[in-house]
């Protein structure tokens, strides 16, 4: 079995598929509940703790260039599905714009 396949199996053992959204929901540990980076899936890989959505992206698509980030296009931090309607490679600026748009949409829905 290849390393990529082992990683995929390890991740998928902790994933629940949301039939309604198509999101692959991480059911394992996260980065906690406080602060800007909170709530992102985490796992042990080798001797490091890593962000699962980044592992899934690189496992499927390869290296993430230095000026790019992975955006949860589906707006669900627990989603680790490396498909374009869930995770996308974007600039930091594009990620920030999308995040702000999502916040505005959430505020409008609450009214």
Q: List pLDDT tens digits, range 26-83.
A: 999 999 877 667 889 999 998 999 999 999 999 999 999 999 999 999 999 999 999 9
Q: Could you list the residue range(s) of the whole structural domain that residue 105 is in?
A: 3-110
pTM score, two decimals? 0.87
- For tokens 């980065």, the residue is 31
- How many domains does the structure of the chain reveal? 1
d(CA 56, CA 5): 11
Phi, psi of 60 (to 5 degrees): -90, -40
- pLDDT tens-place string over residues 11-22: 999 999 999 999
User: For 22, left (φ over 0), alpha (ψ -120 to 50), or beta?
Assistant: left
Q: Which residues are CB-contacts of 53 (< 8 A; sequence separation ≥ 6)?
A: 40, 41, 70, 72, 79, 80, 82, 87
């Amino acid at each position: 079995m290849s390393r990529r396949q082992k990683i995929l199996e390890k991740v998928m053992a902790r994933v629940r598929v949301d039939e309604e959204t198509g999101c692959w929901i991480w059911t394992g540990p996260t980065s906690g509940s406080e602060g800007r980076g909170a709530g992102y899936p985490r796992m042990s890989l080798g001797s490091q703790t890593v962000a699962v959505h980044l592992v899934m992206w690189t496992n499927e698509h390869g290296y993430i260039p230095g000026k790019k980030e992975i955006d949860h296009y589906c707006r669900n931090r627990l989603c680790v599905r490396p498909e374009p309607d869930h995770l996308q490679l974007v600039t930091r600026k594009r990620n920030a714009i999308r995040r702000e748009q999502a916040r505005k949409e959430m505020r409008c829905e609450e009214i």
